[in-house]
Amino acid sequence: MAARLVSRMLRRVLRSSVRSCSSGARVTQPRRGEPSQSAAEELSGRRRFLREHATPFSAFLTDGFGRQHSYLRISLTEKCNLRCQYCMPEEGVPLTPKADLLTSEEILTLARLFVKEGVDKIRLTGGEPLIRPDVVDIVAQLNRLEGLRNISVTTNGINLARLLPQLQRAGLNAINISLDTLVPAKFEFIVRRKGFHKVMEGIHKAIELGYSPVKVNCVVMRGLNEEELLDFVALTEGLPLDVRFIEYMPFDGNKWNFKKMVSYKEMLDTIQQRWPELEKLPQEESSTAKTFKIPGFRGQVSFITSMSEHFCGTCNRLRITADGNLKVCLFGNSEVSLRDHLRAGDSEEQLLRVIGAAVGRKKPQHAGMFNISRMKNRPMILIEFSLLLQDSPPALPAVSSWDSLSIQGLRHRVGVSSQEAALWKGCWVPQPPPLTRRWLGCGSPQRHYSSHSDSDTSPKCLSPVPQAPATHSGWLPTSDELTHVDSEGRAVMVDVGSKPDTARVAVASAVVLLGPVAFKLVQENRLKKGDALVVAQLAGVQAAKLTSQLIPLCHQVALSHVQVRLELDSTRHAVAIQASCQARGPTGVEMEALTSAAVAALTLYDMCKAVSRDIVLGEIKLISKTGGQRGDFHRT
C-alpha cells in the first residue's frame, strides 16, 4: 500500500511538470512551451525512477492473459448532429432515455476509480461528444485526476473550431477527427447534412493551436471512398496530420460484407505504387496502428487493421458506454452495467470486484471478421463515434461518378497535394464548380449533370435520342401469361436459378415539368435546399441499388454500373432524366433503370415543391434493354 502511495505521488509530480500531446510534443501548464534542458533532464530522471519503483499494475485491470488495461474510452452521449448513410437512418436511432444515461458526476466517479487503478489515458467519444453541453467542464475535471496523463477526444469536427480553444485550456491533449471523404458534394451526400467546411475549419484550428499530429480517421469502404486513398496521403506532405485508414468493421445492423472491406495490405500496396519510398515507423507495443511516413512529408499515415491483422494480443483498452455499461472488447457482446452498481450504492471495493470480474473474462482475441459479422452487438453509434458503421455503406458508383463533378480536381493526382495543402492551410474550401453548361438554339444556358464521366473532355448533354448499346434489335416478345403469379393467381417471385448469366443493360427515362419559376431557380442553382440536379442524380443512383427493397417481387441484382443524366429543357421548363443500369446475371435490370429515373424525378419534385405545387411528373418509360433469353428491346 505504501509503495502504491509513493507511486501515485511520483505520478502527481510528473504530471504537474508536463502533459504530453498525441504526438509527444509537450504542452506545459498553464502555458504551452518547450521545457529547458535542465527541466528535460529532471523529467527523464523522474520517469526512470518511476519505472524502477513502479508498483505492480492493478489486478482488477489485468486480464487472464496478462494484458494491463491503462486506456479507457468513455462515451459521453448517444446523440449525433450528423445522419451518416452508413451509420443511421435520417430520422435517427432509438436513444436511451436520459435518466438511464450516466450523469457528469457518475462519469467522473468512474473515471476517478479507473485512474486510481492505473488508467493513464482517457478518450471521450459519443455519439458526438462535443454536442454535450458540459464537455469542457468534464475535460477540466478529468484534468485534475492524479495519474491521468492524456485526455483525448474523437469527434466529427462540426463543433470543433468553436470549442477547441476552451477544450485546450481545460486540458485536452489529443484530437481524432472523423472524415471519410475530401469531396464536399460526397460529404453532404454521406452525412445528409452540410458541414464539410466546418470540419475543415476544425482541423485547421487544431493545427493552428499546435496539436501535432492531428489525427484524421478515415473508414475505407469499397465503392464509397477507396479511390481517395492517395488524396488523403497527399495531405500529409505539407500538414502535420496522421491520416488513419481504418478497415471497415462489422457491427449490429451494418450488413457487413467482406467485399466492402478494403484490407490494410491492399491499401498499402496502392500507396506504395505512388510513393515507393514509404517507410514504416516504430510503434508502441499496445498501439492499434501501423504507422508509415513518406520521407520529407510533415505528416504520416497509419492503418487500423482490426479485421485483417488484429492486435488483440496487446490490447489495453476498455470502454464505458453512455448508459454506463463496461465493454472489455469492442467486438464482444457481453457487457456489465456499472451504472446500476453505482446507483445501488456499491462501495468502491464492490465496483472494483465487478470491473475485475469483467476484465478477467476477456477473451484472448475477438472472434474474427466473419464470425463477428454474425454476432449480436450494439450498433457502433451506441458504443462510440470513432467508427460510425451501423447501416450499410452506400455502394456508390465507381470513381468516375465523382470525377464527373470535377470537384477539387481529385482525379488529377499530381495536382492534389498543392491544392489540398492550400485548402487546409488557409482554411479555404472551394465550392463545386458550376455544372456543365451548353447553349441551345433558344439562347438559354442549360445546366447538365451526369453521374458518368465521359471519355473525352467536351461536355455532352443528354441526347434526345437514346443510344443504348445493343447488337440485336427487335421487339420484346410478349407473353400470354403473367410471370409473377402462380396458377391460382397468387403473387410469386420468378425462379431464375436455371437461367444463364448474361450481360444486361437497361435504359429508362422520365420528364419533370417544373413550370417557369421553379425551372429558373434550378437553372441558376438558387434553390434554398441546394443543387437540385446533384441531389436528384445521387437519389437516382441510390434508388437503382435499392430496387429489390422497394419492389416486392424484384430480385436483388449486383449492379456493375449506374449512370444518371439530367438535362434542362427550357422550351418546356422541364428536366429530362435518363437512367442506365448494367449488371451480369440471370435477370434483367429494367426495374432498376425505371426506379432510378422515377426516384430522381420524385427528388426533383421534393426539392422544388416549396416553390410550386404545379409540378408534373411524366413520361416514365423504358427506352431499351439488352441481354436475356427474350431478346433486346429498343423503343422507336
Q: How many Cα atoms occupy the beta-carbon half-sphere of 15 within 13 Å?
A: 20
Reference 47, options 7, 88, 89; nearest CA is: 7
Q: Rounded to an integer, what distance in angstroms lies between the CA atom of residue 611 and that of residue 517?
A: 7
Q: Is 25 helix (H, G, I), strand (E, B) or coil?
A: coil
Helix, strand, coil abundance in the chain, percent, nearest 5: 35, 20, 45
Q: Within a 10 A sphere around the Cβ of 216, how many other Cβ atoms?
A: 27
80 close to 329: Cβ distance less than 8 angstroms: no
Rg of the chain in Å (alpha carbons)? 28
Q: Rounded to an integer, what distance in angstroms lies between the CA atom of residue 245 and that of residue 102?
A: 31
Question: For the chain, how far is it from start to end, CA to CA, in angstroms?
Answer: 90
Q: Rounded to an integer, what distance in angstroms lies between the CA atom of residue 378 and that of residue 325?
A: 11
- Catalytic residue status for 269: no
Q: Rounded to an integer, what distance in angstroms lies between the CA atom of residue 218 and that of residue 247?
A: 9
* Cα dihedral 64→67→72→73 (10° resolution): -90
Q: Which stretches does DSSP call E strand in 276-382?
A: 279-280, 289-293, 300-304, 317-320, 325-327, 336-337
450 close to 404: Cβ distance less than 8 angstroms: yes
| CB contact set of 236 (below 8 Å; sequence gap of 6+) | 242, 243, 294, 297, 298, 299, 300, 301
Reference 385, options 21, 125, 72; nearest CA is: 125
Considering the candidates 100, 137, 403, 606, report the single residue annotated as catalytic: 606
Measured in residues, the chain has a length of 636
524-547 per-residue burial string, b: 16 or more CB within 10 A, e: under 16: eeebeeebbbbbbbbbbbbbbbeb
533 close to 575: Cβ distance less than 8 angstroms: yes
Q: Rounded to an integer, what distance in angstroms lies between the CA atom of residue 584 and that of residue 592?
A: 13
Q: Rounded to an integer, what distance in angstroms lies between the CA atom of residue 318 and that of residue 308?
A: 21
CB pairs under 8 A, 24+ apart, for 556-559? 557/583, 557/585, 557/587, 557/589, 557/592, 558/583, 558/584, 558/585, 559/583, 559/589, 559/592
Alpha helices in 178-298 (DSSP H): 184-191, 196-208, 229-235, 264-274
Q: Where in the sequence numbering do the catalytic residues fall?
A: 606
